[in-house]
Each structure stands twice: as C-alpha cells, then as structure tokens.
C-alpha cells in the first residue's frame, strides 16, 4: 500500500496532472453553478476530450475533478436563487437560501465552501486508508438492503416537517412517490400513468421537478410579494466570515457528516443525494430543541451537514467504482464508461496491476479539494452580489435559469409546459403551507425504492426477504426510530410543559 501511495504521489504531482486537476475543478465549479448542467451532462461531454489526452491517469484525474467540482459548485445556485440543479444540493437550499434572504449570502457561501472542503478531504483520506476493506463491505449489500436504505432515506421527512406538519409532510412524500411511478416500471417495460403523452414515457425529469418546486415559486413570490425581495443586507454584502461560535458549532457537524456521508457513498446505489438528506435529518434530530426550530430558517448547522455529507459521499462513490467496477450512480456509470474507453479495467486487481492510476486519482482528490477552496473563497464576495441585483432584473434572471435548466435536462419543449404547470401547483401548495422538500425526496428515492423492492420480491418470492436478511431488518428498524423519535420528543415536551403548568 505504501509503495502504491508513493507511485500515486509521483503521478498526481506531475505538472500535467496538476493542470488537469485545476482544469477539472474550474470546469466543474462553473458548470455546477448553472442549474440544469449537472456533473452527468458535463462528464459525458468531456469524455471525448479525456480520451484524446491518451494518458489514463490524466484523463481520470480531469473527469474526477469535474465531478467533485460540480458537487462543490452546485451549492451556489441553491443558496443564491433557490435553484438546486443537482439532486445532492437540494438539502443545501433548505437553510442556505433563508440565510441569503437574511442578507447573509456571503456567510452561507463561506460555510458551504468550508464544509465541502472538509467533507471532500476527510473522504479522500478515508478512501486512501480503507478502500480495500470497504469494497468487501459494499458486497454485503444486495437489493433487499438497498430497499431498506431507501426507506431510511424516506424516514428523513420527519426532519423537514415543521411543528404540527408531519401529516402534511407525509402527504407530500406520498405525492412524490406517486410521481416517481410515471413512466416505465421496474417489472414491466411498459409506460404507465403517461396519459398518452409520449414525452412522459421516461417519467418526470428531476431538474424540471426541482425547478418547479423551488426556483419558479420563488420568482412568483417576488412578483406577488415585492417586500420579500428586500433582504436585511440588500445592496451591501457583509458577514463573509463565520464567527468563532459558529465555527465551534459546525465543527462536530462537519466531522460526523463527513464520516457518515463517506460510508453512504461507498454503497453502490446510495450516493450523495441520500447522504445529504440523511445528514440533514440526523443533525436536526440530535440537535437541542431550540436549535431544531432554526433548521429550515437559516441554521448554519443545517447548511454544513448536507454540504459535508454530499462531498464526502462523492469521494466515497469511487470505492465501488475503482475496486469493484460497480457504478453507484448515474455519474459514476458515465465514469465507468470512460474507464472502459481508456482500456482500464476497474476491479479488485486495479490497485495491484495499475497502482499509478488508482492512487493518483485518490491523491488528486485531496489536491483538488485544496484547489477548490483556494478558487472559491476569494470569489465569494463577488458571487454573493447576485442578491444585490434589483428585483426587476432578478426575476428574469431566475426565470431564465429555471427554463434553461428544465429544457437542457430533457431537450424538449413539452418539459417547459410541465415546468410551468408544476410550478403553479407548487406555489399554491406553498401558500397552503405544505412543505415541498418531502415531495422531492419521495420522487428522488421512489424509483430506486421500487426497483430494489421489485428485484427483492423476485429473488425471494415475496416479502420474506425482510425476515431472511438481518441487515434489512436492522435498517428498517432504524427507519422506524427516525420517524418515531421526533414524535416522542414532541410528546415528552408537551407532557413536561403540562407538568410545569400544573405545578404553577
């Protein structure tokens, strides 16, 4: 292992590969900032460029830099205009955007940058130390365990439900699961619930739904409520630095979620999206009651948790890709195609047969995270000035990126009509005080939940797999605890308050 690391250091720190890291990080960061152009799109575009380089190490370092650069930069649009163009940055908008509305956009971007750097760095270190051992752990997970893991992800809705809103959050989650069933099913390759619309055969696009749930209603709110566009720091960007108390508060959150996010990223099929939602849910559930109430209203902990988790998970997803040849997400599936095109065979022998590729990619991740921090921190004051743009210009700006993101995602005009229809519905639901985040969680996890449940049913001839696999039972038990814990806490608080009132 030590010999392999030394070979990787020599490869990663060559001038060519350092330039590849810088180039990949720059491209990824700016693409991540644009809603609609996520890492999958840009990596697919970059594959011919990578293949033309010739050197497999340099090509993979470039593509990896684009990948984690896009995750790093994806938080910017989520924080500034509430338009998460990448699934893994949806949870970032829950507290990042409220902070921006309070005139603390600079601080929000700083917290996101530091959390992303720490999550990616911890992930790279853990990847270097535990990659061979974690590959064998990933093999223990089958369809039944992935189904249970999706249920755990859905149990996070309790964290996004305000006081007395658990019922509403559950309804919105069910609506998201229903929307995930539109298109071809897991058991039969036949379209369902498409209402005869050909463009719905592949289902609703994530980008379209994310824009309709968050960005479009925001533009409508700015029109309907002009006072909403005025922030406390309007016209002046301040509070770029985090205070010592804030740093002390987010440090343990970053530590916990970097480790948890990495472990979730290691599991093929889990990825950065589930890691970010679970990270947010866990931190809200373990926070003291007075801090829990700040989640969703501009909590630095609520911002640091998903940013640390999704960047660590992004790094962790390279464990199954490099050591098993199993892609854990759509992005890593494209990276697997790039590996094969470069005549690199990922699997258990990659570490032994081509250590210069395996270790160079891992070490370049650490270098890339340092470069991303150096690139992003000086730019924060300028990026944050987006919010100083007058409302008359900001509304068309949001609408442009919303429509562009939806159109690029599916490349057809029908998607724009679907976007407008869903956006109007989302605005009505927001006026009715229904939380929109659970709908998106249900939609994102719904297809994976159905696919893994269907495969488990086929393998075990029914639902017997729940009893036959102890790990599945354990994960489902964890999901029950995550749902029940907030209700138990609320009930205990009510009883305590009643006891105090009776004593008086």
Average pLDDT over residues 461-469: 75
Instruction: With a cut of 50, say whether residue 4 has pLDDT above it.
Output: yes
What's the CA dihedral at 266, 269, 274, 278 to 10 degrees? -60
* pLDDT at 148 (0 to 100): 83
Measured at the alpha carbon of residue 425, what is the angle toward residues 218 and 199, in degrees to the nearest 5? 105
Helix (H, G, I), strand (E, B) or coil at 424: helix
Structure tokens at 115: 């959390």
Confidence class of residue 257 from pLDDT cuts 50, 70 and 90?
Answer: very high
Confidence class of residue 486 from pLDDT cuts 50, 70 and 90?
Answer: low
Instruction: With a cut of 90, say whether residue 254 has pLDDT above it.
Output: yes
Instruction: With a cut of 80, say whether residue 491 has pLDDT above it.
Output: no
Instruction: With a cut of 60, say whether residue 230 has pLDDT above it.
Output: no
Instruction: With a cut of 90, say whether residue 413 has pLDDT above it.
Output: no
The DSSP secondary structure of 147-211, one letter per residue, reads HHHHHHHHTTHHHH--TT-HHHHHHHHHHHHHHHTSEE-SSS-SEES-TT-GGGTT---HHHHHI
Is the CB of residue 76 less than 8 Å from the CB of residue 33? yes
Instruction: With a cut of 80, say whether residue 332 has pLDDT above it.
Output: no
What is the rounded average pLDDT for all residues in the chain?
Answer: 79
- Best-predicted range by mean pLDDT among 67-81, 170-184, 454-468? 170-184
Q: Mean pLDDT lowest for which of 93-107, 164-178, 249-263, 333-347?
A: 333-347
* pLDDT at 327 (0 to 100): 66
For the chain, what is the total number of helices (H) and then of strands (E)? 25, 2
Q: Where are the alpha helices (DSSP H) in 193-292?
A: 206-210, 216-224, 244-266, 271-286, 289-292
* pLDDT at 202 (0 to 100): 77
Average pLDDT over residues 295-318: 88
* pLDDT at 250 (0 to 100): 92
Is the CB of residue 350 less than 8 Å from the CB of residue 344? yes
What's the CA dihedral at 153, 296, 427, 210 to 10 degrees? -40
Is the CB of residue 231 less than 8 Å from the CB of residue 100? yes
* pLDDT at 234 (0 to 100): 44
Q: How do the domains of the chain map onto residue ranges?
A: 2-142+205-433
Q: Mean pLDDT lowest for which of 19-33, 204-218, 282-296, 297-311?
A: 204-218
* pLDDT at 231 (0 to 100): 46
Rounded Cα–Cα distance for residues 429 and 451 (Å): 29
CB burial string 144-168: b at 16+ within 10 A, e below: bbbbbbbbbbbbbbbbbbeeebbeb
Q: Which of 159, 62, 165, 117 is nearest to 432 (CA)?
A: 165
Residue 365 region, left (φ>0) first, then alpha (ψ -120 to 50), else beta?
A: alpha
Rounded Cα–Cα distance for residues 323 and 504 (Å): 64
Structure tokens at 113: 């940058």
Is the CB of residue 363 less than 8 Å from the CB of residue 355? no
Confidence class of residue 80 from pLDDT cuts 50, 70 and 90?
Answer: confident
Average pLDDT over residues 316-334: 72
Report the percent of the chain where pLDDT is more than 70: 83
* pLDDT at 235 (0 to 100): 44
Confidence class of residue 329 from pLDDT cuts 50, 70 and 90?
Answer: low
Rounded Cα–Cα distance for residues 453 and 462 (Å): 10
Structure tokens at 251: 């440090």
* pLDDT at 1 (0 to 100): 64
Rounded Cα–Cα distance for residues 17 and 37 (Å): 25
Rounded Cα–Cα distance for residues 28 and 38 (Å): 9
Rounded Cα–Cα distance for residues 232 and 240 (Å): 14
Instruction: With a cut of 80, say whether residue 454 has pLDDT above it.
Output: yes
Token pair 């699961």 in the structure block, residue = 177
Rounded Cα–Cα distance for residues 59 and 50 (Å): 5
Average pLDDT over residues 144-166: 70
**In terms of pLDDT, which residue wins out, 103 or 238?**
103
Which helix (H) or strand (E) covers residue 476, if one does?
helix 470-503
Q: Dmax over Cα atoms in the chain, in whole Å?
A: 79
Rounded Cα–Cα distance for residues 119 and 136 (Å): 23
Instruction: With a cut of 50, say whether residue 500 has pLDDT above it.
Output: yes
Residues 6+ apart with CB under 8 A from 457: 463, 465
Which helix (H) or strand (E) covers residue 242, if one does?
none
The number of angstroms, rounded, from the C-alpha of 392 to the middle of its chain's C-alpha atoms is 31
Instruction: With a cut of 90, say whether residue 253 has pLDDT above it.
Output: yes
Beta partners for residue 183, in sequence order: 192
Q: Provide Rg for the chain, Cα atoms.
A: 22
Rounded Cα–Cα distance for residues 262 and 229 (Å): 37
Instruction: With a cut of 50, say whether residue 308 has pLDDT above it.
Output: yes
Give the 3-state DSSP-derived string for 340-373, with helices as H, strands as E and coil as C. HHCCCCCCCCHHHHCHHHHHHHHHHHHHHHHHHH
Token pair 């490869």 in the structure block, residue = 11
* pLDDT at 305 (0 to 100): 92
Instruction: With a cut of 80, say whether residue 295 has pLDDT above it.
Output: yes
Q: Which of 343, 360, 342 is nearest to 351 (CA)?
A: 360
């Amino acid at each position: 292992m030590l010999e392999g690391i030394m070979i990787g250091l020599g490869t990663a720190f060559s001038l060519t590969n350092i330039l590849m890291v810088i180039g990949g990080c720059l491209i990824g960061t700016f693409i991540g900032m644009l809603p609609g152009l996520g890492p999958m799109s840009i990596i697919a575009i970059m594959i011919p460029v990578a293949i033309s380089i010739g050197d497999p190490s340099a090509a993979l370092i470039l593509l990896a830099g684009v990948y984690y650069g896009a995750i790093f930069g994806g938080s910017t649009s989520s924080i500034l205009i509430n338009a998460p163009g990448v699934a893994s940055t949806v949870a970032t908008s829950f507290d990042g955007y409220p902070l921006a509305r309070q005139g603390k956009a600079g601080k929000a971007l700083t917290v996101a940058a530091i959390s992303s750097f720490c999550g990616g760095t911890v992930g790279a270190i853990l990847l270097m130390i535990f990659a061979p051992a974690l590959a064998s752990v990933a093999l223990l997970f089958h369809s039944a365990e992935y189904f249970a893991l999706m249920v755990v992800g859905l149990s996070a809705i309790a964290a996004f439900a305000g006081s007395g809103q658990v019922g509403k959050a559950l309804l919105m989650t069910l609506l998201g699961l229903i929307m995930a069933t539109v298109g071809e099913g897991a058991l039969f390759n036949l379209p369902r619930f498409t209402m005869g619309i050909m463009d719905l055969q592949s289902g609703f696009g994530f980008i379209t739904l994310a824009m309709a749930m968050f960005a479009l209603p925001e533009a409508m709110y700015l029109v309907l409520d002009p006072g909403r566009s005025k922030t406390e720091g309007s016209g002046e960007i301040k509070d770029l630095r985090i205070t010592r108390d804030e740093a002390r508060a987010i440090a343990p959150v970053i530590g916990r979620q970097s480790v948890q996010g990495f472990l979730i990223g290691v599991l093929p099929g889990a990825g950065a999206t589930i890691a970010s939602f679970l990270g947010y849910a866990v931190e809200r559930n373990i926070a003291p009651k007075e801090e829990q109430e700040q989640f969703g209203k501009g909590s630095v902990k609520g911002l640091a948790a998903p940013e640390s988790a999704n960047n660590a998970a992004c790094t962790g997803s390279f464990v199954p890709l490099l050591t098993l040849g199993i892609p854990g997400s759509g992005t890593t599936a494209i990276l697997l195609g790039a590996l094969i095109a470069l005549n690199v065979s990922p699997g258990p022998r990659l570490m032994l047969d081509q250590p210069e590729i395996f270790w160079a990619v891992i070490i370049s991740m650490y270098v890339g995270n340092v470069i991303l921090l150096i690139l992003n921190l000086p730019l924060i004051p300028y990026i944050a000035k987006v919010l100083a743009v007058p409302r008359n210009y900001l509304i068309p700006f949001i609408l442009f990126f919303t429509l562009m993101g939806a159109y690029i995602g599916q490349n057809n005009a029908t998607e724009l009509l679907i976007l407008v229809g869903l956006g109007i519905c989302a605005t009505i639901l927001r006026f009715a005080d229904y939380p929109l985040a659970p709908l998106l969680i249900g939609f994102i996890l719904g297809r994976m939940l159905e696919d893994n449940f269907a495969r488990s049913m086929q393998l075990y001839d029914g639902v017997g797999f729940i009893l036959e696999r102890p790990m599945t039972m354990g994960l489902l038990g964890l999901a029950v605890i995550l749902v029940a814990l907030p209700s138990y806490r609320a009930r205990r608080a009510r009883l305590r308050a009643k006891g105090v009132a009776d004593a008086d």
